[in-house]
Structure 1
Amino acid sequence: MTIELRRIPGAPMAQAVHIRGHEFVADGSVQEGGADSGPNPHDLYDAALGACKALTVLWYARRKGLPVQDVHTVIERDASAERAGTYRLSARLQISGDLTDAQISELETVAQKCPVHKLMTTVTTEIGTSAERMP
């Protein structure tokens, strides 16, 4: 799969992000020199974790026939030690439905195993970068 980003003309930093048939804006905050017209890369990274946890819980609940009605996910970031090598994310899932405490606990366990959580904590990601003159 390919994801493409193109600078938005006239914007100091904003990028139009194209993923399959979807498009949205990523930008730096005003403090970073952007116009804050969209989430910054850290926001997107953090949001990927929250989305993955919510989607994983909903998928699992549907598969197991659990009566989940809604999932509200909150991700909190502590980047205070990022430069020292530690980036902390805290995920809180609020799940509605006629669920027992055991089912809520089961869904929490499932959320901890979502694919993005695994990517962030147990997988080695190799990144290659090249730069070339624009045609």
Structure 2
Amino acid sequence: MSITIRRDGIHGTQHTLRIRGHRITVDVDDAAGGHDAGPTPHDLYDASLAACKALTVLVYARRKNIPVEDIEVVADRDASEERKGVYRLNTTLHVTGALSEEQRQELLRVAGKCPVHRLMTEVRTEIETRLV
């Protein structure tokens, strides 16, 4: 699967991200010289973790017949030491439903094992960029 991103026009910083049949506007914020017309690349990175945790918890709960009603994951970024090699994401998981404390702890454990969390913390990513 390929993901493409292309600049919208020749002025400004707005781009369109295409993933399968989906289109997402991507930009940088005013402080970085953009118009904040969409999420930044860092926003998308952080959002991928939150989305993965939410979906992983939901799929697991359904498979195990855990009565989850609503799920919300909040990801807060601390990029203050990013240039030093440390990028912190603090996530909170809010789950509603008639859950026991044991089930709540099980869902928290599962959230910590979502594929994107593991990708961000346990896998070495190799990136090759070519000019064509």
Q: TM-score range with shorter-chain normalisation? A: over 0.9
Gaps of 5+ in 1: none
Corresponding residue of 1:7: 7
Aligned residues: percent identity?
53
Corresponding residue of 2:98: 98
Compute the TM-score of the two structures, normalised by the length of structure 1: 0.95
CA offsets, 1:62-109, max 9 Å, x none?
000000001011001000010001000001010000000000000000
Q: What is the total number of aligned residue pairs between the two structures?
A: 132
SS at match of 2:29: coil
- 1:24, CA displacement in angstroms? 0.8
Residue 51 to residue 11, structure 1, CA distance change in 2 (3 Å): farther
CA offsets, 1:6-54, max 9 Å, x none?
1111541111000001001110111111110000000000000000000
Distance 1:54 1:79 in 2: 23
Corresponding residue of 1:63: 63
- 1:131, CA displacement in angstroms? 1.6
Distance 2:126 2:73 in 1: 29
Gaps of 5+ in 2: none
Distance 1:11 1:107 in 2: 46
Whether the 8 Å CA contact 1:70–1:96 is kept in 2: the answer is yes
Distance 2:40 2:131 in 1: 21
Corresponding residue of 2:49: 49
SS at match of 2:70: strand
Runs (4+) of structure 1 moved beyond 4 Å? Answer: none
Corresponding residue of 1:36: 36
Corresponding residue of 1:86: 86
Q: Letter of the aligned partner of 1:30 in structure 2?
A: D
Corresponding residue of 2:125: 125
